[in-house]
A and B are shown apart, each in its own frame.
Chain A
Amino acid sequence: MSTPTATAVSRSGSWARDAANLTRRILLHWKQRPVSIALTLLFPVLIVLMFRYLFGGAMPVPDGTYTDYLIPGMLAMTMLFGLESVALAVTTDAAKGVTERIRAMPVSGNAVLAGRGWADLLNGVAGLAVMVTAGLVLGWRPQHGLVSTLAALGLLLWLRSAFTWVGIYLGLLLKTPESAVSVQVLVWPIGFLSSTFVSPDTMPTWLGEIATWNPLSSTATAIRDLFGNPTWATHTWAAEHAVPLAAMWPAVLTLVFLPLAHHQHRSLAS
């Protein structure tokens, strides 16, 4: 055995390598629990099937098929689901004492949060891949070529990374997995109060107004434009400026919640 202090001096680590190791930890979780990650990824597909086949028949999309309207909405919704899974993961780490153990290692808080954020972005990429595949199988097609399609996927991941910071902040704030369940309760109304499943035009005026300004609606409408999918004719200011709003909303959320998450992580020491 080495003498106690011999291996403990003059090592250093970079912030990015620490974050990468922490990302790797979460990827190992997927490898250890393939069923659990598969269910998480397939859950949105189940919702799509429900809406497509149970409600789809009753959805009068004026400028196309309901499938072409639904899939972009569901891609945005899948990004929102990341918020609750990340909040739950953060509280679970805290409850199991893993957060403390990591905090006792010579890694910075920045690396800890970045590691969580990167892993969740990869989760978002996987979620998109699954949902895009499901959409293609159901007959959904992007119409505007590669550049527009990639721009749409970029906007989706941009939204995801904003939701990740909201989720990390809420997880650190709520502390226990039991209370993280409240985030789940929050996510669904936010998801439905948007243009994900139906046009805000079909809602009562005041409710439709709120739904139009939902960040989820901006991204959903923006990617519908970019994919060349039906937008179910909404002529509000927010709907006509969906692409710049889809770029701006996640920036605003990130600017608010990233510092809040860091502040909350630092306050674990108080």
Chain B
Amino acid sequence: MAYEEEWWGHSSAGITARNLRKRYGDHAALDGFSLQVRPGTVCGLLGPNGAGKTTAVRILATLLRPDDGQASVAGWDVVRQPRQVRYRIGLVGQNASVDEVLTGRQNLELFGRLGHLTARVARTRAGELLERFGLAEAADRSAAQYSGGMRRRLDLATSLVLAPAVLFLDEPTTGLDPAARIDVWAHIRALVGTGTTVLLTTQYLDEADQLADQIAVMDAGQIVAEGTPDELKARVGPDRVETVTRKPTLDEVFLHLTGHAPTTPHQAAGEATR
């Protein structure tokens, strides 16, 4: 542990990112991204299409090398110790990424084994998660036959196979119908309190508001504002939050914080092709 203590001081768990940069051609996807998420809390990373949310998550999940900057996740450096990080993280990507040919059970057992659980433990763990995510009945059907909501739940279950210390959820409810969204929210809420650190990206303030202890607003590859949901809403101004049901939309918060509208057509088009 001496190495991380020297490198990261006392902030050895949770997520720490310092000044991350990532360029694609002459476009900076991340332009000095810094973030600190305390262990056991949920951080909502809020930003429009093209803000750099997915890029940040992919770097923190060891899938992408940053051009510059440092980051540690669950106490390990994402660039120097990716393997140690991978034992301790779960990732739900922007698109459901289960193996559609395999059954739900086969998916869970496969990824358990790839995380070096013994075959027996992987089997038990798969059974547990299928039960917990309401997939026990569909366990032995090919995931190709699952509904969008079921696939998302399997995706979430798969990312929990190793009981990760840190969980990344990249727009976990995008593309889901309202009922499925509320269902996924319930599962995420159930995770809070087990000590898992969660970084959740979203384009919707209400989602961050529902789930996060701390919100970081992101634009053009940087964090532009940070605080609790209430702090952020207070900054938008009392006139917009005078009723309980009328909360400011992301666009309003965004416009207020950055002084410009969130998504340009160019960014939206870039996202659509990804």
Contacts and interface: CB of A to CB of B under 8 A. Distances in A.
The dominant DSSP class at the B interface is: loop
Interface string A5-21: 11111011100001001
Interface string B69-110: 000001000000001001111010101111111110010001
A8 B163 contact: yes
Contact of B163 (A6, A29, A105): A6
Given A28-B102, A29-B102, A3 B116 contact: no
Contacts of B91: 100-101, 104
Contact of A18 (B95, B103, B114, B121): B114
Nearest to B75: A5
B115 interface: yes
Interface in A12-65: 12-13, 18, 21-22, 24-25, 28-29, 32-33
A269 B158 CA distance: 22
A244 interface: no
A8 B167 CA distance: 13
A137 interface: no
Contact of B117 (A7, A25, A28, A97): A7
Nearest to A36: B101
A21 B96 contact: no
A105 B106 contact: no
B195 A3 contact: yes
B153 to A, nearest CB: 15
B86 A104 contact: yes
Contacts of A25: 99, 102, 110
B89 A104 contact: yes
B97 A97 contact: yes
Contact of A4 (B95, B128, B165): B165
Given A5-B165, A28-B106, A96 B195 contact: no
Contacts of B113: 21
Nearest to A32: B101
In the complex, which of the residues A6, A29, A32 has the most CB atoms of chain B within 10 Å of its own CB atom?
A: A32
Interface string A172-187: 0000000000000000
A101 B111 contact: yes
A101 B93 contact: yes
A8 B87 contact: yes
Given A11-B117, A104-B86, 19 more contacts: A1-B163, A4-B163, A5-B74, A7-B117, A11-B87, A11-B115, A12-B116, A18-B114, A32-B102, A32-B103, A96-B100, A97-B93, A98-B98, A100-B93, A101-B158, A103-B63, A106-B83, A106-B86, A269-B64
Interface of A: 1-9, 11-13, 18, 21-22, 24-25, 28-29, 32-33, 96-98, 100-107, 268-270
24 contacts: A4-B195, A5-B163, A7-B117, A7-B163, A8-B164, A11-B117, A18-B114, A25-B99, A25-B110, A28-B110, A29-B101, A32-B101, A32-B103, A32-B106, A96-B97, A97-B97, A101-B97, A101-B158, A104-B61, A104-B62, A104-B86, A105-B111, A106-B86, A269-B64
